[in-house]
Amino acid sequence: MIIKIVTSDRIEQFFASLDATWEVRVPIMLPDGTRTISSRSSGPLALHGGAVAGKPTAAFFPQHGTIFTAVGSGFQEPAAPTRPLFILGFTPRDLACLRFIDRFFADGFSDDLYLRLRKNAVVAGISGNCGLGGTLLPPAGGDCDLEFFWEGSGWLVIPHSSAGEACVSGLPDSAPPEAVERYRQAAMTPPHENDRLVRRASELLRSTSVPDSFWAEIGDRCIACTGCNLACPTCTCFGVQDWRSATQTERSRMWDSCQLDGFMREAGGHNPLGSEAERTRRRIHHKLAADPEKWGEISCFVCGRCDSACPTGIGIVAVARELVARFG
């Protein structure tokens, strides 16, 4: 395995060397002190601090995306990106989310809006002792083209694909053996307690009948702010709308939220998810019971965003904790 090392004072230079080939996006600091993934010119580099607040998969599935524009009797599809994306800032959990939605958007009907942005993109993960407050993000070891692992004095840069190898070919220094050993040790970190909780909740939902009263109690806490869905890197639901002006019509898609009353309301007025209890049950059930049956894996990778976003404390880990505490 090739493992290079780049020190903090040379990392900007490394990203600048990629500019000619890729549209480079990296974690940056916004004026309000939060971090996001954007172009280097948008703010100072902020590689430390763990997961960014917004969902990183928005790079390929944006909140609003034009499907086509109709002018007169002609149709225009959105232009393909001029350069492929090089995007850094996915934590190992975010990379697992991306792996999941890559499967989702390519299955059966392949989603050309998603694939147009995703194809040829170089995805770089970030791991090591660079989580919130310096906590360890155990290495992904894959699920990306390139991994940046903070080992205390510099970034180990580990390619996991030929595109990743092409990115690091200009880096002069190979990582010293002791730094590589720190990477290997970190890769053996046992699963977090929250992973165990979510797995157990999934087993319970698939094997036990959880009473409606539980979902009524949990759903009663939902204020339908949609924060959980908007933050979740594996939420893929969207609605389609036409925006008309005097000269053209733009058909676009926008993220939707299964916590909203109108999410499944039918044209005749019937709503199969007519209460907050049913909608909350569906949100949790979808990730922990329906997706394992359809895709063979739970579609929550415990990134923590919905638990951070939910103002009333019913993110997925919080609900999993209550499920396990009450039903075993």
Instruction: Give contact residues for ligand SF4 (rule: CB under 6 A).
Output: 97, 222-228, 231-234, 259, 287, 300-306, 309-312, 314-316
- Return the number of the residue (97 or 140) whose C-beta is nearest ligand SF4: 97
Q: Residue 241: name the closest of 232, 227, 231, 251 by CA.
A: 251
CB of 150 to ligand SF4, least distance (A): 22
CA within 13 Å, CB half, 302:
19
CB of 306 to ligand SF4, least distance (A): 3
Amino acid code (one letter) for 40: R
Task: Give, for 218, the enclosing helix (H) or strand (E).
Answer: helix 212-219
Task: Give, for 115, the enclosing helix (H) or strand (E).
Answer: helix 112-118
- Return the number of the residue (250 or 297) whose C-beta is nearest ligand SF4: 297
Q: Residue 58: name the closest of 238, 198, 223 by CA.
A: 238
CB of 52 to ligand SF4, least distance (A): 13
Q: What is the number of helices (H) and of strands (E) in the chain?
A: 12, 11
CB of 304 to ligand SF4, least distance (A): 6
229: left (phi over 0), alpha (psi -120 to 50) or beta: alpha
CB of 231 to ligand SF4, least distance (A): 5
Packing angle, helices 212-219 and 316-327, rounded to 10 = 150
Q: For residues 168 and 157, is the Cβ–Cβ distance under 8 A?
A: yes
CB of 90 to ligand SF4, least distance (A): 12
CB-count burial class (<10 Å; 0-12, 13-18, 19+) for 208: exposed
- Return the number of the residue (24 or 310) whose C-beta is nearest ligand SF4: 310
CB of 51 to ligand SF4, least distance (A): 9
From the CB of residue 3, how many other CB atoms can be counted at a distance below 10 Å?
18
- Return the number of the residue (159 or 233) whose C-beta is nearest ligand SF4: 233
CA dihedral 70, 74, 77, 79 (to 10 degrees): -110
Q: End-to-end alpha-carbon separation of the chain, Å? A: 43
- Return the number of the residue (154 or 304) whose C-beta is nearest ligand SF4: 304
- Return the number of the residue (27 or 219) whose C-beta is nearest ligand SF4: 219
- Return the number of the residue (178 or 293) whose C-beta is nearest ligand SF4: 293
- Return the number of the residue (155 or 226) whose C-beta is nearest ligand SF4: 226
* Cβ burial 290-309 (10 Å sphere, 16+ → b, else e): ebbeeeeebbbbbbbbbbeb
CB of 216 to ligand SF4, least distance (A): 14
From the CB of residue 74, how many other CB atoms can be counted at a distance below 10 Å?
9
- Return the number of the residue (77 or 220) whose C-beta is nearest ligand SF4: 220
